[in-house]
Amino acid sequence: MVVVSSEHGGNRVPQPYKPLFAGHEGLLATHRGWDPGTADLARRLAVAFGVEALISDITRLLVDLNRSAHHPRVFSEITRSLPRAERAALLERWHEPHRARVQEAVAAAAERGRTVLHLGVHSFTPVLDGEERRADLALLYDPSRPRERWLAERWCAELRTTLPGVRVRRNYPYRGRSDGLTTALRGRFPEERYLGIEIEVNQKLLDPDGRFPAWVCEALASTCPTP
């Protein structure tokens, strides 16, 4: 069973919060505002696996759905100074429902005795703070969980064979055990029932229309090991 999610699929600002973002339109368009290409990639992966894509199109600058509610960067510099009640309302309206949908999808399969492979689809900026990210495609996982490590290692090996010349890495440019939705769900489900992999794709691969080329989805879907 596969669950596909996209926590940063868009940079939409809900109408009540638009005054907060006046003057920040440029920031919204950058990687700070969203993960370009991920909503479309998540949908195509979901079709390939025959499941529903669980996608949020709310900008991460409003509230970051991939951060735990207690994380110091769950709110951006734009929303961090809001009154506590308003921040709580953001968590209740946007953060909690998305994470609950993903958790419920995992739980439903786990209750039937199935192992769930959760694919969180993300993308990363090619250059951060003047440093080039030296990967085209990466998989993030928790190396302390043997089944997750095995799956990620095998998947990366298959991707390298399928995509010669494409730089495929593990736990880069972020660590798979860092705070995130997959990390939170590992704490709720045993490894026998839950495998959490974050897919990271370099935004330099985006087409002019803002989509990743078809070979990205095709390679990921065709080489993904069965849990």
Nearest to 179 by CA among 165, 196, 163: 196
Q: Whole-prediction pTM value? A: 0.96
Spatial distance between the Cα atoms of 2 and 5, rounded to a whole number of angstroms = 10
**How far is 175 from 173, CA to CA, in rounded Å?**
7
The predicted-structure confidence for 43-62, as pLDDT tens digits, reads as follows 999 999 999 999 999 999 99
Sort strands 137-140 and 194-202 into parallel, antiparallel or unpaired. antiparallel
For the residues 177-198, what does the mean pLDDT come to?
A: 97
CATH fold, domain 2-223, is Aminopeptidase (3.40.630)
Burial code of 158-196, b = ≥16 C-beta within 10 A, e = fewer? bbbeebeebebbbbbbeebbebbbbbbbbeebeeebbbb
* Average pLDDT over all residues of the chain: 97
Grade residue 227 by pLDDT with cuts at 50, 70 and 90: confident
